[in-house]
Structure 1
Amino acid sequence: MRLNIPRFHWFLIILSAFTISACSGGEETVAEKPAPVHIESGDECHVCGMIISGFPGPKGESIAGDSQRVRKFCSTRELFAWKLQPENIHQNDTLYVHDMAQTDWDNPADTALVDARDAFYVAGSDAKGAMGPTLASFALEAEARKFANSHGGRVLRYGEITLADVSGGMAMGEMGDMDH
């Protein structure tokens, strides 16, 4: 028994079968988040050019998803000063900061790096980082509140931080005039 189907219809049937098989071929793979990179003794801050090690307070880093390019920052303040710029704010990069509840303020250990977007920050405290006032970073809100109770400031989530929080009340132009 031969089916009497016009050639054009055969073409559509084959094309449909091909399209369905191509669409259902494989599972989409989600890119795995890159691990934090250790801060080495000679690493320089991406924003100010200072050598990062040897300064107190939390540091930060950005790892670009597409190129795996790593940018390191001498403080969370510098990380946010860079990240909040219009050309950087929408980049899909992985960000890390030190969880200061897990490490010493004067010598933060890279084993305490946590996802910056999940962290809690204390802005306006009396604690100083590499560039003076900085944002104290914590993995847990309770630790951030405890720090704020001892050192002043207010607790913020990643998405709540603005350039005003980063500048510490100074105009952004004055930030470049600070002593390093």
Structure 2
Amino acid sequence: MKNILKITLIASTLLCLTACGEQDQKQIVYQAQAIESSDECHLCGMLITNFAGPKGELYRKDRGEKVHKFCSTRDMFSFYLDPENKRNVTTIYVHDMSKMPWDAPNDGYFIDAKTAWFVVGSEKTGAMGKTLASFSKQQDALAFAQEFGGEVLDFSQVDQASLM
């Protein structure tokens, strides 16, 4: 009887430890949040809704459920590309400009920035001047670049030089 009790206790402990370990390894994915009229850009402090063009938001591991919102994709990348921030960011969203006009970004169309296509160097501007147009589909980014100029990059190709 003692042996069965010991085995049960050991098995329960191992099961608990395994489950806890698996839970710690899972990455928490947060949802995009609506941008409210009073929301300020995390980088520059400007009111986000006062400007045209795509916006961005992200979550950091060390900040829990606190979302950082940005008035432009350029400001979002400026923040994200800082090495301290880059290694702590878990989730990044940008507006999908394939589905909305430049002057009226719609929070119903946020996409995962890591799967998006970006047009840098176009004639379109955002809150801080030049910004990156974000698209869910490469062909939409190419069409935008054809019409407004610029170069199409995927997320991994965006660097500090792209923001100039």
In the alignment, the residues of structure 2 paired with residue 87 and residue 166 of structure 1 have an alpha-carbon distance, to the nearest angstrom, of 18
Higher Cα Rg, which structure: 1
Offset at 1:32? 4.5
User: More helix by proportion, 1 or 2?
Assistant: 2
Q: Which residue in the other structure is 2:117 paired with?
A: 120
Residue 134 (1) aligns with residue 131 (2): yes
Give me the TM-score of the superposition, normalised by structure 2.
0.85
Provide the secondary structure at the position in 2 that maps to 1:39.
Answer: coil
Q: Separation in 1 of the partners of 2:133 and 2:91?
A: 19
Q: Is the contact made by 1:54 and 1:107 (CA closer than 8 Å) also made in structure 2?
A: no
Give the match for residue 158 of structure 1.
155
Question: What is the identity percentage for the equivalent residue pairs of Structure 1 and Structure 2?
Answer: 42
Structure 1 residues without counterparts, runs of 5 or longer: 1-9, 168-180
- The alpha carbon displacement at 1:93 in A equals 2.0
Change (3 A) 1:85 1:32: closer
1:7-156 pair list within 5 angstroms: 18=10, 22-25=13-16, 27=19, 28-29=22-23, 30-65=26-61, 67-156=64-153
Q: Give me the whole-angstrom Cα distance separating, in 2, the residues matched to 1:102 and 1:159.
A: 23
Unaligned runs of 5+ in 2: none
Runs of at least 4 residues of structure 1 off by over 4 A?
A: 24-27
Cα distance between partner residues in 1 of 2:67 and 2:40: 11
Equivalent AA in structure 2 for residue 138 of structure 1? F
CA-CA distance at 1:151 after TM superposition: 1.0
Quick check: 1:58–1:99 contact (8 Å CA) kept in 2?
yes
Which amino acid letter does the alignment assign opposite residue 69 of structure 2? K
